[in-house]
Amino acid sequence: MTPLRSLSAGDRFLRILWWGIAVAVLSAFLWSAWILLIPLAVGYLLAAVLAPLVDLLYRKGCSRGLAAFIVLALLMGGIGIGLWWAAPTIKEQYDNFIHNSQSYMVEINHRLNGFFRFLDNLVPHRELVKARNLMVHKLNANSRPFESIDALFNIFPIAEYILLATVVTYFLLASGTEIRRWFVSLVPNRYFEMVLRLIHRVQTQTSRYIRGQMIDSVINALLIGSALWILKIPYSFFIGAFAGLANAVPLLGPVAGGVPAVVFALLGTTATPWWMVIVVLAGIHMLDNLVIYPMTVGQSLHIPPVAVILGIAVGGEIGGIPGMLVVVPLIGIIQGAIIEFHSSLKGYRIL
C-alpha cells in the first residue's frame, strides 16, 4: 500500500519500539531469571481457560465478580475432592516408588552394564569406558536420585505461588474488561484503535490456543493413564499425568512422557513386553496428531521448533520442570502478539 503521508514522531517511535521488542524478546529468554513470571503466567493461562465459564454464568445474570468466585471455588473444590479421593492411591504409589527407587537404580545400572558390554564390540574401548564412567558417576552422585521429585516441589514456595496465581486469575476473570478499558483509555487517540485491535486479536488467538492445549493434555493424560493401567505398568496414574503435561511441550514432550513407561517395562516390573508399551504410546500419539490435536488446538498457532527448544532450555533454567511446561504457551502468546503487532503496524502504515 502506498503511504498517504510521511511518518510522524509517534510513528517513528512505534517503529523503533517494534525493533526494540524483537530484540527484547530474544534477550528476555536468554537473560531472565524472573521467578515471579511463573505464577503470573499461570494466573493468565488459567483465566484464559476459565473465561468461557465465567461468561456463561454472567450471561445467566451473575455479576462478573460472583461468577469468577463461583468458577474458582468449583475448580478448587473439584481439585480438593479429586485429591481427597485419590490421595491414598497417590500416597501408596509415591511411597512404593520411593521405596523401590534404590532397586530400580541397581537394575538400571545392571542393564547399562549389559548394554555397554554389548557396545564393546561396536565402539572403541577407550571411548566406551569414558562414557560409562561418566554415566555411572552421574547415577551414583545421588544415592536416592528420585528425591529430585521432592526437590522439584521444594524449590518453589508452592502455596504462595498457588495463592498468587489464584488472585491473578480472579482479577483477570472479574475485572479483565475494566482493566483492558482502563489501559486503552491511556492510549493517545492516534493509536487507540490499533492498540484495542491488537489486544483483542492477541487475546482471542492465545486463549483459543491455551484452552485447546489444556483440553488436549487432559485427553492425553486420560488415554495414556488408562492404557498403561490396562497394560499393568506400575504408577500408571503418575505416568499418565506426567505424559499429559509433557504433551504441552511440542517435539520433546510426547517422547519424554513415554520414557518412564518404557523404562518400567524394560525393568521387568510388569509382564507386558517393552515393545508393546511403545506401540500403544505411538498409537495414542498418532491418534492425538491426527484427530485430537486438530480438533482441540487446530491451526491456531504453530510454534517454530527452534523457539520451542530455546524456550524449554530457558524455561527449565528459570523454573525447572514447571518452567518448561509454562514456557511453551508463553512462547505461543508472545508469538501471537508479535505477529498481530507486526500486522497492525503494517495495516496502519507505520512499518
Partner 1 sequence: MKLLTESPLWENLFHRFRSEEESLPTWLQSHPLMRGLSARDVRHFAVLLHRRVYAEGEIVFRQGDIGSGFFLIRSGVVRLTAEDTARGNLPLASLTEGSVVGEMAIFDNSPRSATATAEEDSVLYGLFEGDLDRLQATRPTLAISLLRNLGTSLAIRLKVTNERLQELDAANSTNQLREI
Q: Select the residue interacting with partner 1 from 70, 108, 135, 184 (CB under 8 A).
A: 184
Position 205 contacts partner 1 (CB under 8 A):
no
Give 220 or 344: the residue with its C-beta nearer to partner 1: 344
Q: Select the residue interacting with partner 1 from 65, 316, 320, 347 (CB under 8 A).
A: 347
> In the 8-state DSSP scheme, what is residue 118?
H
Instruction: Give the burial class of 151: count Cβ atoms within 10 A of its Cβ; 0-12 exposed, 13-18 middle, 19 or more buried.
Output: exposed
Binders in 215-274 for partner 1, by CB under 8 A: none
Nearest residue to 215 via CA among 326, 292, 107:
292
Distances (CA, A) of 271 to 66, 96, 298, 322, 340: 52, 19, 38, 33, 53
| Phi-psi sector, 15: left (phi>0), alpha (psi -120 to 50), beta | alpha
Position 339 contacts partner 1 (CB under 8 A):
no
We find the least distance from the C-beta atom of residue 190 to partner 1, in angstroms, to be 7
We find the least distance from the C-beta atom of residue 166 to partner 1, in angstroms, to be 23
> In the 8-state DSSP scheme, what is residue 169?
H
- Owner of C-alpha cell 498481530: 340
Nearest residue to 309 via CA among 331, 288, 294:
331
Nearest residue to 248 via CA among 220, 206, 290:
220
Triad 240, 243, 246: Cα angle to 5°: 150
Nearest residue to 42 via CA among 88, 81, 83, 75:
75
Give 128 or 187: the residue with its C-beta nearer to partner 1: 187
Give 205 or 217: the residue with its C-beta nearer to partner 1: 205
CA-atom Rg of the chain in angstroms: 24
Q: Select the residue interacting with partner 1 from 7, 28, 199, 338 (CB under 8 A).
A: 199
We find the least distance from the C-beta atom of residue 75 to partner 1, in angstroms, to be 20
Give 316 or 347: the residue with its C-beta nearer to partner 1: 347
From CA 218, how far away is CA 245, in angstroms rounded? 8
Give 65 or 347: the residue with its C-beta nearer to partner 1: 347
Phi, psi of 249, rounded to the nearest 5 degrees: -95, 110
Give 109 or 175: the residue with its C-beta nearer to partner 1: 175
Which helix (H) or strand (E) segment holds residue 182: the answer is helix 158-185
Nearest residue to 288 via CA among 200, 224, 231:
224
We find the least distance from the C-beta atom of residue 302 to partner 1, in angstroms, to be 23
Give 132 or 197: the residue with its C-beta nearer to partner 1: 197
Which helix (H) or strand (E) segment holds residue 226: the answer is helix 189-230
- Stretch of 92-100, 119-127, 167-175, 190-198 lying at the interface with partner 1 (CB under 8 A): 190-198
Q: Select the residue interacting with partner 1 from 185, 186, 299, 306 (CB under 8 A).
A: 185
Q: Select the residue interacting with partner 1 from 31, 153, 192, 275 (CB under 8 A).
A: 192
From CA 119, how far away is CA 178, in angstroms rounded? 65
Count of residues binding partner 1 (CB under 8 A)?
26
We find the least distance from the C-beta atom of residue 185 to partner 1, in angstroms, to be 7
Position 351 contacts partner 1 (CB under 8 A):
no
Contact flags string 4-23 toward partner 1, x per CB under 8 A: xx------------------
Binders in 49-78 for partner 1, by CB under 8 A: 52, 55, 58-59
**Cα distance between the two ends of the chain:** 11
We find the least distance from the C-beta atom of residue 195 to partner 1, in angstroms, to be 10
We find the least distance from the C-beta atom of residue 306 to partner 1, in angstroms, to be 30
Q: Which residues bind partner 1 (CB under 8 A)?
A: 1, 4-5, 52, 55, 58-59, 177, 181, 184-185, 189-190, 192-194, 196-197, 199-200, 203-204, 344, 347-349
